Amino acid sequence: MKLTVKELAERLNVPYEGDSEVLITSVAGLERAGTGDLVFCAKPKFLAQLETTKASAVILPPGLKFERTPVLRAEDPHLAFVRATEIFHRPYRPEPGIHPAAVVSPSAKIGKGVSIGAFSVVGDEAEIGEGTVLFPHVTIYPRVKIGAAAVVHSNTALREGVRVGNRVIIHNGVVIGADGFGYLKGQDGAHIKIPQIGTVVIEDDVEIGANTTIDRATLGETIVRRGAKIDDLVMVAHNVEVGENAILIAQAGIAGSSTIGRNTILSGQVGIADHVDVGDNVIVAAKSGVTGRIPSGAFVSGSTHLDIRDWRKFWALAPHLYDIVKDFKKLKARVEELEKSSKR
């Protein structure tokens, strides 16, 4: 793919300045850009870096002056750059068709233009929507339903009866619909398994990162709402509901029956206890452990580190601090007494 600055500006529907005939063949970051690359710069503080770039053109916001290369002007340079990236780089997708070394149940319904890779397995009565791609080594258990234009990468397992929406992207090694973790304590101390007969529903436009696990509900459904984005190695337990456009960053975990609101962000390694409601538009900072309800709009935190000497002193103190503070309050009363008597 080669486009002149003029052609690219037309495709992006933005104005440009400078030589209209310069050829653009790819996109790159400021440091690594070379001839033919388009870069972007959203803030004045990166202008110095821009001065030395070997890129052939740059996307800038209105008002930032630059004349060494052609400039495309966009209110949101990063968004325009994303659109340009999509023009030059299509994500790798295999051709439509069912690989001869795939095993597809005769009772499965396969939509038009579907691609099923080598060694993928599609179980009885499963449904795969139009244009969906199953890479090699995908295991679709019986009665799974996947919508249209979805992408499922290798080594992913969709367990019996799970439902996945349109345009969902599932990266490698994801497990959707393994049993929720539920047991009763038996008389003899052994654990009695609670059958996990619910399912998982992944709505449209969700993306799920590598090796993430989303467990099936005990009864009913574990739900990930439309547009939610889930990073790698995240754990979503049985009967959880993840809200629309929520963001779950890597290694976060949500215990059973909790709900995460719309647009809420759980940062990396956050843990949410079971049966907890986290509201809409909440930000939970990395590593926080959340044990109770969080109202909409809140910003809570948990992460920290200290120099090892400070850390040791601090935690040696921690178990005694409550008593020390009580002691402090008594001392305050005594000082007040002294002050009174000295005024006398």
CB of 286 to a copy of itself, least distance (A): 5
Dihedral over Cα of 85, 86, 87, 92: its sign: positive
Cβ burial 200-230 (10 Å sphere, 16+ → b, else e): bbbbbbbbbbbbbbbbbbbeebbbbbbbbbb
User: Binders of a copy of itself among 76-115, rule CB under 8 A?
Assistant: 76, 78-79, 82, 85-86, 89, 91-92, 99, 101, 103
- 78 as an active site residue: the answer is no
**Rounded to the nearest 5 degrees, what angle is found at the Cα of 69, between the Cα atoms of 65 and 73?**
55
Query: Rounded to 5 degrees, what are φ and ψ at 92?
Result: -65, 125
Secondary structure (3-state) at 287: coil
Applying CB under 8 A, does 47 fall inside the site for a copy of itself?
no
Specify the residue, 108 or 205, whose C-beta has the smaller distance to a copy of itself.
Answer: 205
Contacting a copy of itself within 192-221 (CB under 8 A): 192-195, 197, 205, 207, 209-211, 213, 215, 219-220
Please tell me whether residue 264 adopts helix, strand or coil conformation: coil
Number of residues that bind a copy of itself (CB under 8 A): 125
* Contacting a copy of itself within 298-337 (CB under 8 A): 298-308, 310-319, 321-322, 324-325, 327-328, 331-332, 334-335
Whether the CA torsion 32, 38, 40, 46 is positive or negative: it is: positive
Q: From the list 36, 227, 243, 261, which residue makes contact with a copy of itself (rule: CB under 8 A)?
A: 227
Query: Quick check: 277 binds a copy of itself (CB under 8 A)?
Result: no
- How big is the chain, counted in residues? 344
Interaction residues for a copy of itself, span 237-266 (CB under 8 A): 237, 244-245, 247, 249-251, 253, 255, 262-263
Q: Of residues 129, 131, 165, 173, which one binds a copy of itself by CB under 8 A?
A: 173
- Contact in structure between 157 and 137 (CB atoms under 8 Å): no
Of 309, 269, 296, which is closest to residue 285 (Cα–Cα)?
Answer: 269
Residue 285 as a binder of a copy of itself (CB under 8 A): the answer is yes
According to CB under 8 A, which one of 233, 277, 279, 296 is a site residue for a copy of itself? 233
Question: Residue from 127, 154, 277, 296 that binds a copy of itself (CB under 8 A)?
Answer: 154
Nearest-angstrom CA–CA distance, 70 and 306: 48
CB of 66 to a copy of itself, least distance (A): 20
One of 78, 171, 238, 305 is an active-site residue; which one?
Answer: 238
Partners of 115 in beta bridges: 97, 133
- 283 forms beta bridges with 265, 299
Q: How far is the CB of 7 from a copy of itself (least distance, A)?
A: 20
Q: Are 36 and 55 in contact (CB under 8 A)?
A: no
Residues annotated as catalytic (active site), given as ranges: 238
